Structure 1
Amino acid sequence: MTLRNILLGATMLCAATTPAYAFAQDAAAPADAGTAVDDTDYGNDIIVTASKRSQTLQDTPVAVSVTSAAQLEDAQIRDLIDLQTAVPSLRVSQLQSSANTNFIIRGFGNGANNAGIEPSVGVFIDGVYRSRSAAQIGDLPNVERIEVLRGPQSTLFGKNASAGVISIVTQKPQYEFGGSAEVTYGNYNAITVKGDVTGPISDTVAFSIGGSYNRRDGYAQDLNLDTDVNDRNRWGVRGQLLFEPTDALSIRLIGDYDKIDENCCIAGNVIAGPTVAITDALAGGTSIDRENPFSYDVYNNFLSSNKIENYGGSAQIDYDLGNLALTSITAYRQVRADTNQDSDFTAADLIGEKSDYVDIDTFTQEIRLTSDFDGPINFLLGGYYFNEKVNQQSAIKFGDDFRPYASALISQASGGAFNAAQLEAVMGSANGTDYSGQFFRAGDGLDEAYKMKNEAFSIFGTVDFEVTDRLTLTLGGNYTKDRKRFSTNVVSSDVFSGIDLTATGGRALTQQFVSTQVGGILGVPGGMASAEQVQAFAQAQPAVFQQIATVGTQFGQLNSTLNPADVADDGNDFTVGNPLLALRPLQFLPPFLNVPNAVESGKTNDGDFSYSVRAAYELTDTVNIYATYATGFKASSINLSRDSRPTAEDLPAIISGGLGLPNLVSGSRFANPEESTVYEFGLKGQWDVAAVNVAVFKQSIKGFQSNVFTGTGFALANAGKQSTFGIEFDGSVRPVDGLNLTLAATYLDAKYDSFVNSAFGDISGATPAGIPELSLSMGGTYTHEFAGGTKAIAHLDYSYESPVQIVEGLSGFPASVAQNLKREVNSLNASFTVRLTNGIDVGVWGRNLTGAQYLTTIFPAVAQAGSVSGYPSQPRTYGGTIRYKF
C-alpha cells in the first residue's frame, strides 16, 4: 500500500471519528464582521466571512486555516516567517535580504528576487493587496487573526491569486476605551515593545492607534568584520478611525508606516570548491567557514544592508441597503526598499557592490455588492482596479580583489599560458585595441535601471442557489484584463564581458602562437615576445616569420571552434579546442540589449476568465461536505533584472536587424501567465468540544513561473505544468476542561508534469524541490484557573517536515549533488503564561527549543565554480514577556 493510500485512509477515518479545529474569517470582511474568538470556547458557532458573507465555519465551503490572536501570542509568532510552524500547507523562505521573502501554499509559490514577478500567493492586510514581499513582512500591532486560504481564489478576490491567499486582519476601533502594552526580552538581546489604545471620540466615531518596536542583535558572527550579523531592527505605527454616522453607514480609515533597517541575510558554505584556495589567499587568511553553514560564523568584506520603508492608507466604506450591502475599499501604498549585499559571501572583495533600490507605488480600488435575500438565490458582484508603478535602480560592480581572482582563474583555465595582463596583451594585439588594465577593473560592472507600469481590472462575482435546505450550488466567475509596459536602461562597463571569445579566439591564438615562437627564438624572458619585438623580427627575418605566421594561422583556425565530440558528450562549452572559451563564466556582465527596441515592444497584454463551481451539502446539523472545481490566473511576469534576454523567437530578428551585441544569447524578457485548476472535496464538522476540517484535492498550474538562481544570475521560465495531489487535515479536541489539543497535517504528492526548458534541462516527471511530502503541526494548550481568577496557561507545539530535496539542480554540478542535499524540519516551541486578574500576563517562551538545523535554500556560490552556499535556519530563541490589557 502506498503512502498516499495510507494517509488517505487514515485521514478519512480521522474525519469520521476525531474532532478537529479550524477558524476562518476573511480580511476583506465588513467592519462589523465580529470580534476575536476565545480559543477555549468551542461550544459556540464561529461566524466567518471567508466567502465574503457572514456564515458559520461549518457552512463555509472554503479550505482555510486561521491562526487567532491568542495562538499568535502563545506561540510567539512574530511575523509571517514564523507562521509556517502553525500552518503545514504554508512555506515561507527568506532569501538574500529582508525584501526577498517567498510564500508557498500547497507547493506553489514564487515572486521573490525580482520586482517584476508578482507572487502566486497573494497577501492582503485588512482587505488591501500587498503586491511585494517588502510590503508584507513588517510587524503589525493588534493582529486579530491571520488566514491562509488554499487554492486559487479568483471569484472572491479581485486581484487574482493562482496558488492561494494570506489574509491578515487587525482589530477595528472600539467604542469602549481599552488597549494593551507588551514588552518582551529574549536571548541575543532581543527587545520587542508593542502597544495599542482604542476608544470613542464621540458616539459615532472611534479610534485606535498602535505601534511596535522590534530589535535584536545578530545571531551570527562576521569574524572578518568582527561584528554580529543577521540582526533585527524594525518599528512601525498604525492608526485607525471608524465613523458610523448612521446604522447603515460605516467608514474605516487606516494609515500606517513601518521601517526596517537590518543586516541580513547570511549565507553559509555548504560545499567548498577549488576557488576557496584563491579567495583565502586574497583575504590573507580564512575567507569562508568551509562546509559548516550552522556555525553561524561568516566572513564578509562589508556589511549587507536592508532598508525598507512601507507606508500607505486605505478607506473602507460599508453601506447597508437593506437586503443589499455595498462595500468599497480604496488604498494607496508606497514601498521603498534599498539593499546592498556582499553577494560573494567571502572575505575577499570579489563583488564590491550588489545594490538594489526598488520604488513601488500601488493604487487599488475594490467595490462589492452583496445580497442577503430570504429567497433561494443570493449573489456577490464586484469590480477591482489595480495600478502599480515600479522603478528600480540596481548595480553590480567588481571589487578590488576580482581582478587578481580572475587572473588566477585565467591562469588555471589556460594551463598557465595567461594571466589577466597577458590576456589583455594577446587580445589587444588580436583586436588592435589597448586593453591594458581594463579587464575586471574595480568599480566596473553593470548600472541598471528598470521601469514597469502595470494596470489591471477585473469583474468578479458568485451566485448561490439553495436547491434545498441542505444543498447549495455556487457558481463564480472572474474576468481579468492585465496590461504591463516596461523599459530598461542597462549599461555594462565590463570590458572583458564585451569580447566575443569565439570570434576573437582564432586571432588571439594565432597571435599567442606567433609571440611564443618568436619569443623562444629571441630568448625573451617569460617566452612571449611583445608586439614591437615581433614586428622587428618580421623585418629582420621575413622568411622565418612567414613560416611561423602560416603555421600560427592554421593553429588558430583549427582551435577557434568548439570540439564537436565534447559538445555531443556533455554539452559543455568549456573545451580544449579553444582554451579561451573556458573563460566564458567570467563574462557574466555582458552588454545588454535594452527594451523597447525595434523588435521588442516591452508590453504584455493578458486577459482571462476564471470560474468556480461548487456544491455544498449539510449532511447533519454538525457535518457539512463540499465539492469544488475552480480555476485561477496570474498575468505575465516581467524579468526586471540583468538576466533579461530576448526570447529565442525574437533573437534572429534582432540579429538580422543589426541590434545584435557581443555575447547576446536568448533567454526571457517575461514569463507567460499562470493558469491554475483545482478539484477539491472537503468535509467540515463542529461539535461542542471539537471541530474538523478535511480537504482532498488535485491542483495544477500550467505555465508555472519558475525563477531559479544559477550562480551568476536568475533563469525565469514557464514550466509546462506542475501538479499536486494533496490531503489536508486540521482539528482539535478538548478532552477535559482547560485542555485543547490540535493537529494539522498536509500530505503533498507534487510533480512537474512537463518542464522541458528548466534551468537544468528537461525535468519533466521530477518532484519540485522544497515541497515536503508530509508536514505536521501539533500542539496542546492547558489552562488552569485558580481560586480568585488567576490563570496559568501552558502551551506546546511541534512542527515537522519530511526530508525533501532543497533545489531541482545546481548549475555546474552533477544531478546527484542536488539530490543528496535535503532538508528535514523538527521544531519545538513552548510557552508558559500566568494571567492575573488585573489584566497582566507574565510569561516565558522558547522557539525551536530542539535547536533544529536545516538549510532553507541553497544555490551555486556567486562566481565561484564548484562551491555551494545556503541560508541556514534560525537558532534557538527564548525570552520572557509582560503584557497588560485594559
Structure 2
Amino acid sequence: MKNRFLNGVGLCAALALPAVAHGQAAEPAASADASTLAQGGDAKIDDIIVTARRKSERLQNVPVAITAITAADIQRRNIVSVQDIQRQVPSLQSRQVASSRDQISFRLRGQGQSIAGSLPAVVAYFEDVPTNAAGPGLLYDLESIQILKGPQGTLFGRNTTGGAILLNPRRPDGELGGSIDLTAGNYGLRRAQGALNVPISDSLKIRFAFDSNQRNGFTKDLGTGADLDDRNYFGWRVGILLTPVEGLENYFVYDRYRSRSNGGSVVLLDIRPGSLATTLFPGITGDLVEQRRRGKRIVEFSTLTAFDDVDTESITNVLTYKVSDQLSLKNILGYRMSRQRFTGDSDATRFPIIEERQSPEYHSGSYSNPQSQKAVTAELQAQASLLDKQLSLILGIYYENIKPESSSNIDETIQFGNRVSLATLRYDRSKAVFGQATADLSRLITGLRFTGGVRYTVDNRRIRAKNVSNGVCTTVLADANCFREIAAKFSEITYNISAEYQPTDSTLIYLAHRKGYKSGGFNPGVALGLLSVFGPERVRDAELGIKTDFRLASMPVRLNLAGYVSKLTDIQRTRQVLANGQSFTATGNEGSANINGIEVEFSAVPVDGVRLSSFYSYTDAGYNLPALKNTPFTITPKHKFGVSGSYKMDLGEGVGTITPFASYSYQSLTHTSNTPDFRDVQKGYGILDARIDWDKFLDTPVSVYVFANNITKRSYLTTFLQFYNGIGFSAGAFGEPRMFGAGVKYGF
C-alpha cells in the first residue's frame, strides 16, 4: 500500500513539473497579475474566490485541496441536491440515510458518518454555520459551493476528520434586479426559482430568493398505491446587508424550508434461508421472487401509509467590524431548527418485520436518522495583519448547543410484529478556542510562507433513552418515566501545520500536516444497555499539493494536484446487533486504518468559448486490525473520474448565444453499507448528463434551455440496509432514473 501511494505521489510530481516550468516561463515577472497567465488572446480561465481560511482568497493561492462549484456551474450542471454534487468532486461520496432522500451523509477521502449515534466526519456549513439540513431546497441562489478535503479541525466550527462543505448564499448588492426561472420535465416536474435584489440605500440592501419544486415519484408502491421517491418542497430566504458606518457591516439571513413527500423507496434484494425473518414470515421468500420479477421501480410494502415531512428554519447573523487596516472583528451567530416526521418500511415487504411509524411529535432520532433538533451556535473571531503584512493571525472562540426539538419525542417501530416505542434524545454542547498564524518569509526566500494553527475542543454529550415493547418498559436502569440517562465528556487538541512556496503568482506548492478529531457518542441501543458509549475517532494526515496556471502554446490551462497519506485511529465502525427481539445498528471503536490517495483537477480553454474540465481521484483504504484485514472500506470507490465540456457559440447580433454542455462521471466498485459484505456491492458505473442553453434569446433578457440527467438510465444504489447476517434480509434504495426537461429564465 505504501509503495503504491509513493508511486502515485511521484506521478503527481512528474505531471506537475512541466506545469511549473510552463508557469515560470510564461510569466516574466513575479508581480504580474496571475489572472492574465491563464489566458491566451480572449480565452481565459476565471479566478475563483474561496473562503477556506475564513477570508476571501484566490483558490489558486490557498494551500488546501479545494473543489469550488460556481453559481454558473450549479445551473449548468443542474445541481438540485447534494447527491448531484458528488458527481462533480473527486473523493466525495454522498449517501442517503435509510429511505429518506431528505437526509444525506457525506464521505470525503473514505471518511464519513457511521450513522448510529456518531457525529459526521464531513460537515456542511451555510454561511459559516454548521447545518444538518443540506438536502434539496438549500442549493439555490448560491454564490458557490466549496468542498474542502482533509481534516478541518482548526478554523471551522465543528471538528471533522474528512472535510467540510461550504454553502455560500448570494449576498445583496447595489444593483436593482432579479430573475425568475421556470422548469418542466418528465415525471411531472414543475420547478420555479426566483430572486430579487433591492438596494434600499447605499447602506441597506435586501435580497429575496425562493425555490419551489414538485415532481411525481419514480417508484410505485402496490401496497398503498403511493408514488414513492417524489419531490415536493418550497424554500425561501431573505438576506439583509447593513453598512451603517464605514468599517461596520451586518449581514442577516433568514431561511425556511418545507417538504411534504411520500417518502423514499426501499427494494428487497436478498434473504437468508433459515433466518429469523424466514422462520417468522415464511412468505418473505415469495416476496423476493415477486420483487425480482417486477424490477426496481415497483415495490409492495405493507399497508403503512408512507410520508416524509421535513421543516427547517435558520437564522444567521454575521457582524464584522474593521477596527483598522490591521485588525478586524467578526461575530457569527446561528440558529438552526430541523423537524422530521416520517414512516418507513425498511424490510421492503408486506410483512411487519421492521416498520418505522411516527407519533404526532417529531422524529427523535432513535433509529438511524438525525433527530429533530434545535441548535444555537456562536463564534467570535479576530483577524490581524502585523509586521507590515508579514504576519497574519486569526484567533477565536466557538460555542454550539444542540437539543431535541421536543423533550417528549417518541417513535414507534414494528419489529417482528412487536410494537416497540423508542426515544433517543440527544443533548450536545461543544466549546472551543482556536488560533492560526501565517508568517510570510518572502524577505528571506521569495514566495515562502509557514502556517501553524491549534484548537482545543471540549464536547459534552448527554442522552436520554427509552424503550417500550408491547406496552412493557424494557429500559435498563430506567427512571419512573422509563428513561435512562447517561453523559460523557470528550476533549482533544487538534492542529494544522503547513509550508507553502509560491515561486510565481501562477504556481503554488504546499506541504501540510494536520490532526483531526471526531467526538465519541452513544448508541441507539443504550436503553437496553447495549454498547452504550464509544470513544472519539482521530486522524493524522500529510498532504503534498501543487496548484498552477500556465499556457500550453496559446491554450490557458489550470492543473491542481494533491497527494495525501492519512492514518485513522480508534475508528468508529458500525455493526448489526440483535437483542430482545429487536434489531439495532451499534457503533464501536475498532482499531486503525490507512487511507492514501491522489486527486487531480484539470481545466483548459482551447479556444475562446470552449471550456474543458476533468478530475480523477484514487483512494487506497484499508484496516490494520487483523480481524478486519479483508473487510472493504464502505462507500469508498478506489477510482473516480469525470470529464465535462461546453462550447459557447455566438449566433449573431439579435439572435443570442447557444452553449451545449455535457458531463460524464464514473466511479469504480463500491461497498454501499456501513457493515459491508459481498451483497452490498455496487459495481462501477457512469452517469452522463447534458444541457443546452440559449442565452439572450432573440436579443431579449431571456434564456431557454433543455437538459437531461442520467441519459443512459444507469441503475445504482444510493443506500444499502444490511440486515442479512442478523434478521436475515438486505434491502437498498436506488438513484434517480433518466430525468429530462426544459425551462425558461428571465433576468431583469
* TM-score of the pair, normalised by structure 2: 0.86
Q: Which of 589, 613, 616 is 2:500 aligned to?
A: 616
1:333 corresponds in structure 2 to 336
CA distance in 1, matches of 2:421, 2:224: 27
Q: Are positions 1:456 and 2:430 aligned together? A: yes
In the alignment, structure 2 segments of 5+ residues that lack a partner are 21-37, 365-370
Letter in 1 for 2:420: L
1:620 partner amino acid: T
CA distance in 1 between counterparts of 2:513 and 2:479 reads 40
Give, as a single letter, the amino acid of the residue that structure 2 aligns with 1:339. Answer: F
Does 1:880 find its partner at 2:742?
A: yes
User: Alignment partner for residue 796 of structure 1, among 648, 662, 666?
Assistant: 662
Cα distance in 1 for residues equivalent to 2:593 and 2:261: 36
Deviating more after overlay: 239-248 vs 298-307? 298-307
Alpha-carbon distance in structure 1 between the residues aligned to 2:167 and 2:315: 15
Q: Structure 1 residue 623: deviation in Å? A: 1.2
List aligned pairs for 1:672-683, cutoff 5 A.
672-683=535-546
Partner Cα separation in structure 1 for residue 314 and residue 146 of structure 2? 22
**Mapped pair 1:592 → 2:475:** yes
1:623–1:684: 8 Å Cα contact kept in structure 2?
yes
Counterpart of 1:347, as a letter, is R
Report deviation, 1:642: 3.8
Please state how far the C-alpha of 1:166 moved relative to its aligned partner.
Answer: 0.6
The percent of aligned pairs where both chains have the same amino acid is: 26
What is the Cα deviation at residue 340 of structure 1?
1.4
Q: 1:606 aligns with which of 490, 494, 500?
A: 490
Counterpart position of 1:739: 610
Whole-angstrom CA distance in 1 between matches of 2:492 and 2:511: 23
What is the aligned partner in structure 2 of residue 29 from structure 1? Answer: none
Q: For the residues of structure 2 that align with 1:49 and 1:213, how far apart are their CA atoms?
A: 29
Higher alpha-carbon deviation: 832-841 or 733-742: 832-841
Q: 1:60 to 1:809 in 2, by over 3 A?
A: closer
Q: Deviation at 1:217?
A: 0.4
Deviations for 1:375-396, whole angstroms, at most 9, x for unmatched residues? Answer: 4211111111111112573434
CA contact (8 A) 1:832 1:845 kept: yes
Q: Is the 8 A contact 2:573 2:674 kept in 1?
A: no
Match of 1:245 in 2: 244
Is the aligned partner of 1:781 residue 2:643?
Answer: no
**Residue 710 of structure 1: how far off its partner (Å):** 5.9
C-alpha separation in 2, matches of 1:638 and 1:179: 47
1:102 to 100, 105, 109: 105
Whole-Å Cα distance in 2 between the matches of residues 599 and 842 of structure 1? Answer: 58
Match of 2:33 in 1: none
Alignment match, 1:476: 453
Aligned to 1:723: 594
Please name the residue that 2:380 is paired with: 367
Structure 1 pair 827/45, CA: closer, same or farther in 2 (3 Å)? closer
For 2:532, the equivalent position in structure 1 comes to 669
- What amino acid does structure 1 have at the position aligned with 2:127? D
The answer to which of 849-858 and 312-321 deviates more is 849-858
Shift of 1:884: 1.5
Q: Could you tell me how far 1:600 is from its partner in structure 2?
A: 8.7
User: Cα distance 1:257–1:767, how it changes in 2: closer, same or farther (>3 A)?
Assistant: same
CA distance in structure 1 between the partners assigned to 2:285 and 2:672 by the alignment: 33
Counterpart-to-counterpart distance in 1, 2:419 and 2:658: 60
Q: CA offset at residue 117 of structure 1?
A: 2.6
Contact 2:651 2:657 in 1 (8 A): yes
CA RMSD of aligned residues (A): 3.0
- 8 Å contact kept, 1:135–1:310: no
Closer/same/farther in 2, CA of residues 676 and 599 from structure 1, 3 Å limit:
farther
Residue ranges of structure 1 left out of the alignment (5+ in a row):
20-36, 403-439, 496-589, 647-666, 757-761
Q: Where do residues 577-588 of structure 1 align in structure 2 (5 Å cutoff)?
A: none
Distance 1:392 1:732 in 2: 53
The count of corresponding residues between Structure 1 and Structure 2 is 695
Q: Secondary structure in 2 aligned to 1:792?
A: strand
Question: One-letter code of the match for 1:365?
Answer: A
Separation (CA, whole Å) in 1 of partners of 2:13 and 2:156? 31
**Structure 1 residues 182-219: Cα deviation after superposition (integer angstroms, max 9, x where no partner):** 11111111111110101111221000111111111000
Alpha carbons of structure 1 residues 4 and 700: separation in structure 2 relative to 1, 3 Å: closer
**Do the aligned partners of 1:344 and 1:862 also contact (CA within 8 Å) in 2?**
no
Partner of 2:695: 835
Give, as a single letter, the amino acid of the residue that structure 2 aligns with 1:767.
Answer: P
Are residues 283 and 154 of structure 1, via their aligned partners in 2, closer, same or farther at CA, if it must alter by over 3 Å?
A: closer
Partner of 1:486: 463
TM-score (norm 1): 0.74
Q: Which has the higher contact order (CA 8 A, sep 6+)?
A: 2
Instruction: Give the SS at the match of 2:691.
Output: strand
Question: After the TM superposition, which residues 641-656 of structure 1 pair with which residues of structure 2 at under 5 Å, given as runs?
Answer: 641-642=524-525, 645-646=528-529
**What do residues 651-680 of structure 1 show as CA deviations (whole Å, max 9, x unaligned)?**
xxxxxxxxxxxxxxxx32132112111100
Equivalent residues of 1:847, 1:877 under 8 A apart? yes
Indicate if the aligned counterparts of 2:219 and 2:227 stay in contact, CA closer than 8 A: yes
1:381 to 369, 373, 395: 395
CA distances 1:441-468 after superposition (whole Å, capped 9, x unpaired): xxx4222223222111111111111122
CA-CA distance at 1:606 after TM superposition: 1.3
Q: How does 1:533-548 map to 2 (within 5 A)?
A: none
Alpha-carbon deviation of 1:50?
Answer: 1.7
Distance (whole Å) between structure 1 residues aligned to residue 234 and residue 240 of structure 2: 21
2:23 alignment partner in structure 1: none
CA distance in 1, matches of 2:743, 2:258: 23
| 1:5/1:197 CA distance change after superposition, 3 Å | same
Q: CA deviation at 1:49?
A: 2.8
Change (3 A) 1:865 1:291: farther
Stretch moving more, 765-774 or 451-460: 765-774
**C-alpha separation between the residues in 2 aligned to 1:288 and 1:637?**
40
- In structure 2, relative to structure 1, the CA distance for the partners of 1:767 and 1:867 (3 Å cut) is closer
Distance in 2, matches of 1:283 and 1:396, equals: 23
- 1:145 partner amino acid: S
- 1:625 correspondence with 2:624: no
Contact 2:648 2:657 in 1 (8 A): yes
**Partner Cα separation in structure 2 for residue 595 and residue 65 of structure 1:** 49
| C-alpha distance 294-830 of structure 1, shift in aligned 2 (>3 A) | farther
Q: Aligned pair in 2 of structure 1 residues 864, 705: CA closer, same or farther (>3 Å)?
A: closer
Alpha-carbon offset, residue 10 of structure 1? 4.6
Paired residue for 1:148? 147
Counterpart contact for 1:807–1:818, Cα < 8 Å: no
Helix, strand or coil for the counterpart of 2:374? strand
Preserved contact between residue 222 and residue 300 of structure 1 (Cα < 8 Å): yes
Q: Deviations over 1:446-501 (max 9, x none)?
A: 22223222111111111111122310011101011111122223222278xxxxxx
* CA distance in 2: counterparts of 1:458 and 1:393, whole angstroms: 30
Change in CA separation of 1:491 and 1:808 when aligned onto 2, cut-off 3 Å: closer
Give the one of 666, 672, 675 matched to 1:806.
672
Tell me, in whole angstroms, the C-alpha distance in 2 between the residues paired with 1:75 and 1:279: 48
Taking the aligned partners of 1:466 and 1:285, their CA distance within structure 2 comes to 70
2:24 aligned residue: none
Output the amino acid matched with 2:456: Y
| Separation of aligned partners in 2, 1:293 and 1:370 | 61
Q: Which has the higher strand share?
A: 2
Identify which range, 65-74 or 266-275, moves more after superposition: 266-275
Q: Which amino acid aligns with 1:679?
A: A
Distance 1:370 1:138 in 2: 33
TM-superposed deviation, 1:110: 0.4
Conserved in 1, the CA contact under 8 Å of 2:12 and 2:563?
no
CA shift in 2, pair 1:52/1:284, >3 Å = closer
Deviations 1:700-749 (A, max 9, x none): 22222223456832021123213210101101011111111101111000
Give the aligned partner of residue 236 of structure 1.
235
Query: Following the alignment from structure 2 to structure 1, what is the Cα–Cα distance between the partners of residues 389 and 571?
Result: 42
Task: Tell me if the contact between 2:500 and 2:508 (Cα under 8 Å) persists in the aligned partners.
Answer: yes
In the other structure, the counterpart of 1:567 is: none
> 1:626 is aligned with what amino acid?
Y
